[in-house]
Structure 1
Amino acid sequence: MDTFLDRLPDTRRPRLWLALLCLALWLPGFFSIPPGDRDESRFAQASRQMLDTGDYVRIRLGEEERNKKPVGIHWAQAAIVHALEATRLGSRSDIWAYRGASLIGALLAVLASFHWGRALVGRRQAFVAAALLASCLVLVVETHIAKTDAALLAAITAAMGLMGRAYLAPETFTARQAAGFWLSLGIGVLLKGPIAPMVPLLAGLTLAAADRSWRTGAPWLRALRPAWGVPLMIACALPWFIAIGIATEGRFFTQAVGDDMLGKVGSGGEQHWGPPGLYTLIFGITAFPAAFFVLRALPAAWNARLQPSVRFLLAWVVPVWLLFEAVATKLPHYTLPVFPALTLLAARWVLDPLAPQPGRWLRWLAMAALWGVALGLPLAVVGLVYYLEAGKIDPFALLALAAGIALALAVTQYMRGGHEGRAALAAPILAIPFFAAILGGVLPRLDPVWIAPRVAAALAGAAPDLPIPVPPDRFGIAGFHEPSLLFATGGATRLLRDGTAAADFLAEAPGRIVAVGNRDEARFREEAAARGITPRELGLVTGINYSRGRWLTLQLYRVD
């Protein structure tokens, strides 16, 4: 094992080994975890409705416009689903088909970290950094969610890698490389608006201030050729922005910029508020197990800030991190665009035998982050299963605990022996069974949290004559309106306001089926009796709506 770890960074096929590591880390649970209630199902269902309607300009969720993010991820998801259906490997009803864009984006980000990281920190270091990035908890989770952030990371990593080349060697930076930089940013704009160009912009301003480039000019900026590069970036996204502006009569820009983007800056959008410093506080969790090495490498990185490559990586990290700390809305994945730079700094320290060691307090902090997550996350999963499954102890949760202990022990022993390089490669490899046990073993079988697919299964069992996705005006539901339900039963599902609306829906036409939550049950029965109908019970679904943090019982009804 030790010899393997020593030789791995010098492998002749680094991209193949990195790809295999990524697949081993990410595939458990990729196919089996049901669609998440909120963001994932919103993106997937909107892409599915594009496929169903053939309208690849407007973004709709059910009967409503979804004017929040640009169209890039929906096009990527639709293209993957088309390819899977053409080869009969998957269908538009499979949630994993929409996750393909996230998995491919994450893989490209890891490979881009290695490819362009070689010029910044060296080949062996870039390999270790890419392996650490692949194992970061937040990226592992993002590969299992069908939304924008893993694909956005690929665009930003490619752009920043090219910018790093321009910064280190502007005289050899070609027009072709400059075009790649601006095209990467253009793709990023189509994925998530201004976030992609914001990262190099902040890094460039920081470098200009650190280098005092306003006096002599910035050679790297001239090498990037912004005179034609900025128009190229705009041209990537402008046709769709014009089309969506016409299709929605300007509503997209009003809602996407005014409501979504600016609303998140000033207040906690969708109840995701967090105080400044929150990302720093949870970094040990979001970047586990790489956070252990990043934390220990920070003093050495700061001491070497006069070196051009380190200065560039710090300029990539610091302003973006501070900006997200200042923004009121906080989600764990928001700082993901700086993770490649952090792992490159970590790998540079890990493989430098002369690098200074951090102070005692930072060593203890890194150790606490490593052991805290390695033990705390599996124990939290054990407790979650015990609570949701009425005292059940899941063997996969215990397996995750054992894997976490093995990971933390191995890293600790290697570090005590002075083998930082072995520790940095052992951590991603030993994270494979850790994540596999949780994502592939526990989560797919945690039935109480997956309400939507169980409603669809109950509907199919109770009414075999009703196709799924359901046709318009055949199925309605009151008491559970999560987007996952639309993905499970179809965009034509009627989302009913309360028990009265459920009774009205059932009484309006024969053959309809309605699901009613326990909070609306009494009113539904009263209104049904008032309308002279006698609903027949078809099935019962009980679970926890984890987005709202409360237990829910749904009863299916039909009038004979």
Structure 2
Amino acid sequence: MRLAAFLDRLPETRRPAPWLIALCLLLWLPGFFTIPAGDRDESRFAQASRQMVDSHDYVRIRLGEVERNKKPAGIHWAQAAVVHGLEAVGIPARTQIWAYRLPSLIGAMIAVLATCLLGRALVGRRAAFVAAAMLAPCMVLVVETHIAKTDAALLAAITVAMGLFGRAYLTPDSFTPRQAAAFWAVLGLGVLLKGPIAPMVPLLAGITLAVMDRPQGAPLWRLSAPWLRSLRLGWGLPLMVLVSAPWFVAIGIATEGRFFSEALGGDMLDKVSSGEEAHWGPPGMYAAIFGITAFPSAWIVLRSLPGSWADRMQAPVRFLLAWAVPTWLLFEAVQTKLPHYVLPAFPALMLLGARWAMDPLRQEAPAWMRWLGHVALAGVAVGLPAVALGAGLFVERVVLPGAAIGVIAGIAMAWLLLRMARRQAWGRAALAGAILAIPVYAAVLEGVIPRLTSVWVSSRLAAAVAQVAPGLPARNFGVAGHHEPSLQFAMGGEIRLLTTGEAAAAFLADGPGRIAAIGDRQEAAFRRAAAERGLTLRDLGSVTGLNYVRGRWITLSLFKVD
């Protein structure tokens, strides 16, 4: 009863920000400092930012010696600023992956707070607080806070922009020029983070609203958008361009136009037309995995959908549907699919779910949808730590205590939430789900993942090199058979990525004091080439582990020339 009373009082709090910040930190800090740099995107972003810090070149983006013309520089600037700030106060952060993750954590927290504070105009104060609490533990957001890349920061920009757009839509006459300036400036920052994705969300929502709001019986081309004047498009759009354009001009000059041809033709169009980097998925995939990506809040959102559609004539609900549905459908149509792509729609979905949960006159969902939500909740609550338990057995051949604790926490979580569902206490269930997710995530993120030592091949290899050759310059180290970006982050962008065993032998022969790591598949060719060159090899040890990106075990042996 005490817990129920506490959960009932939470939405009434006059100061929601401290409660939400505390919830976010409890959910996101486990594993934040202890999980090594991951492959591949995280290490690519972090290493490119590290090279930006080292070189003081804040225009061009490079990974090793190669130009990385894929995404704008916004996240790299944020990561570099964090590193400079930490080093200014005496914290050595340049080689620490957690420092590069801080912009993701801060961005996710801004998104949660914006859902609460700006969502009030759409669903009311109490429901907005619940929606923010539902967003914080969504699995895809928890994962993004632990990855040093763009998507959590992008979510912050989109959530703030759409929150302001919602106010312009509901009360266009009271929408101030300052709010309009904030809307366009935030979109400009979003462009610097991930190109057109940030303005795409309000554009799709605006087109949808203009079509839905047209007078009854009017032709399709007769649109209605009184809110457009409130957004001050005349000077707002130039403001967005002004925020983002200087870097785009600078990078165009610095790369002689290569950035635009590679980012637009080689990255963006490939995602639309084909499954880039084997990330293809069929239409409907995001809906199929929603119970996982939005755990533990998905079951409430699923129950809210029929009632939300029935209430689509209400302006706030119509806006939230226009925010979520077109963006979701667009990403379902794109060939390349990754779970975080639909994250910009999550704040709107959580607001719809919280509105339903806090409504005493809520419309109940069909039985099959209720059943699906229960299965998703219980399945993920128990399945996530169970998978972690299996990973410990498969990779390390041990039962990790953290995984066992997580299974117990998951069972307790599912039992308590389903009990609340039987009592129709949906507001309590929404908040309890966020709180009960804390030990489940902590068990996996802190108790299991950092302890799967076999999968962290790059950090172990870097430690082995530091032990046998302390202070070895990065340019004197070469590797054949393991070209993962995490090794570049662990040892420096100047390491030599060698394609064959013969190239590794040539690398050792070309200068004194060099060390090469040779994969087991290249070792025979390496030894033959070394013998042909008359090199006397010294074996310095080896590292064996699981390359989880490629799904195979590898052994990397260290050699130098006597």
User: What TM-score results when the alignment is normalised by the length of structure 1?
Assistant: 0.98
After TM superposition, give the deviation of residue 384 of structure 1 in Å.
1.3
SS at match of 2:518: strand
Letter in 1 for 2:528: E
Q: 1:134 aligns with which of 127, 133, 136?
A: 136
Q: 2:291 — aligned with what?
A: 284
Q: Secondary structure of 1:558's match?
A: strand
2:271 corresponds to: 264
Alpha-carbon distance in structure 2 between the residues aligned to 1:465 and 1:397: 38
Residue type matched to 2:167 in 1? R
- What CA distance in whole angstroms lies between the structure 2 residues aligned with 1:227 and 1:535? 70
Cα displacement (A) at 1:205: 0.5
Q: Work out whether residues 90 and 97 of structure 1, in 8 Å CA contact, stay in contact via their aligned partners in 2.
A: no
Aligned amino acid, residue 406 of structure 1: A
Deviation at residue 216 of structure 1 after TM alignment: 6.7
Which one is further off, 125-134 or 211-220? 211-220
The code of the aligned residue for 1:426 comes to A
- Does 1:373 find its partner at 2:380? yes
Task: Report the Cα offset of residue 37 of structure 1.
Answer: 1.5
Q: Which amino acid aligns with 1:295?
A: L
- Distance in 1, Cα, partners of 2:130 & 2:520: 52
Letter in structure 1 aligned against 2:242: A
Corresponding residue number in structure 1 for 2:342? 335
Other structure's SS at 2:487 match: helix
Residue 544 of structure 2 aligns with which residue?
Answer: 542
Instruction: Give the distance between the partners of 1:132 and 1:458, measured in 2 at CA.
Output: 43
Whole-Å separation in 1 of the counterparts to 2:270 and 2:470: 45
Among 504, 508, 524, the residue aligned to 1:506: 508
The residue type paired with residue 28 of structure 1 is P
1: CA distance, partners of 2:12 / 2:543: 54
Deviation at 1:471, TM superposition (A): 3.7
Structure 1 residue ranges (4+ consecutive) displaced by more than 6 angstroms after TM superposition: none
One-letter amino acid of the structure 2 residue matched with residue 449 of structure 1: V
2:156 maps to a residue whose letter is A
AA aligned to 2:76 is H
Aligned counterpart for 1:212 among listed residues 196, 211, 214: 214
State the 1:316 CA deviation.
0.3
What is the DSSP-based 3-state SS (H/G/I as helix, E as strand, rest coil) of the residue aligned with 1:428?
helix
- List aligned pairs for 1:36-55, cutoff 5 A: 36-55=38-57
Partners in 1 of 2:19 and 2:459 — Cα distance?
36
Structure 1 counterpart of 2:426, which letter? E
Matching of residue 146 in structure 1 with residue 173 in structure 2: no
Contact 2:211 2:223 in 1 (8 A): no
Distance 2:39 2:180 in 1: 41
Verify: 1:520 aligned to 2:522, yes or no. Answer: yes
Q: Provide the secondary structure at the position in 2 that maps to 1:519.
A: coil
SS at match of 1:135: coil
Q: Is the 8 A contact 2:209 2:225 kept in 1?
A: no
Distance 1:471 1:501 in 2: 17
SS at match of 2:372: helix
Change (3 A) 1:162 1:259: same
Matched, 1:396 2:402: yes
For these two proteins, the number of residue pairs brought into alignment is 555
Match of 2:466 among 443, 460, 466: 460
Measured in 2, the distance between the counterparts of 1:455 and 1:334 equals 33
CA distance in structure 2 between the aligned counterparts of 1:89 and 1:423, rounded to whole angstroms: 41
Match of 1:300 in 2: 307
> How far does residue 417 in structure 1 lie from its aligned partner after superposition?
1.2
What are the Cα deviations for residues 376-420 of structure 1, in whole angstroms up to 9, with x where unaligned?
111111111111113x11110111111111111111111111211
- Which one of the candidate residues 175, 184, 187 is aligned to 1:185? 187
Q: Structure 2 CA distance, aligned partners of 1:218 and 1:95?
A: 46
Asked whether 1:530 is paired with 2:536, we answer no
> Which blocks of at least 5 consecutive residues in structure 2 are unaligned?
216-220
Task: Report deviation, 1:90.
Answer: 3.8
Cα distance in 2 for partners of 1:228, 1:452 equals 50
Report the AA paired with residue 336 of structure 1: L
Unaligned runs of 5+ in 1: none
In the TM superposition, what whole-angstrom CA distance separates every residue of 1:495-534 from its partner, at most 9, and x where no partner exists? 0011000000011111100000000010011111111111
d(CA) in 2 for partners of 1:556, 1:12 = 60
Pair 1:421-2:427 in alignment: yes
* Secondary structure of residue in 2 paired with 1:259: helix
Residue 224 of structure 1 aligns with which residue?
231
Q: How far off is 1:465 after superposition? A: 4.2
CA distance in 2, matches of 1:405, 1:90: 41
The 1-side partners of 2:93 and 2:82 are apart by 10
Alignment of 1:246-257 (within 5 A): 246-257=253-264
2:33 is matched with 31
- Return the alpha-carbon distance in structure 2 between the equivalents of residues 160 and 422 of structure 1: 27
SS in 1 for 2:556: strand
**Residue among 451, 454, 461 paired with 2:457:** 451
Quote the Cα distance in structure 2 between the aligned partners of 1:525 and 1:151. 47
CA deviations 1:39-78 (Å, max 9, x no partner) are 0000000000000000000000000000000000000000
Does the Cα contact within 8 Å between 1:203 and 1:319 map onto a contact in 2? yes
Query: Deviation per CA, 1:414-473, whole angstroms, max 9, x where unpaired?
Result: 11112111111000001011101100110011111111100100000111242xxx342x
For residues 7 and 539 of structure 1, the distance between their equivalents in structure 2, rounded to whole angstroms, comes to: 60
User: In 2, distance between residues paired with 1:89 and 1:362?
Assistant: 50
Q: Is the Cα contact below 8 Å between 1:273 and 1:328 reproduced in 2?
A: yes
Deviation at 1:2, TM superposition (A): 1.1
Task: Please give the per-residue CA displacement for 1:260-280, whole angstroms capped at 9, x wherever unaligned.
Answer: 001100000111000000000
Q: Distance in 1 between matches of 2:170 and 2:481?
A: 58
Secondary structure at 1:159's aligned position in 2?
A: helix
| 1:123 aligned residue | 125
Q: Distance in 1 between matches of 2:120 and 2:411?
A: 32
The aligned counterpart of 1:358 is 365
Shift in Å, 1:215: 3.9
Partner of 1:384: 391
CA contact (8 A) 2:385 2:443 kept: no
Distance 1:399 1:90 in 2: 34
3-state DSSP class of the match of 2:228?
Answer: helix
| Residue of structure 1 in register with 2:71 after alignment | 69
**In the TM superposition, what whole-angstrom CA distance separates every residue of 1:313-334 from its partner, at most 9, and x where no partner exists?**
0000111111000000000000
CA RMSD of aligned residues (A): 0.9
Question: Matches of 2:546 and 2:346 in 1, distance apart?
Answer: 33
Q: Which amino acid aligns with 1:150?
A: A
Match of 1:430 among 421, 430, 436: 436
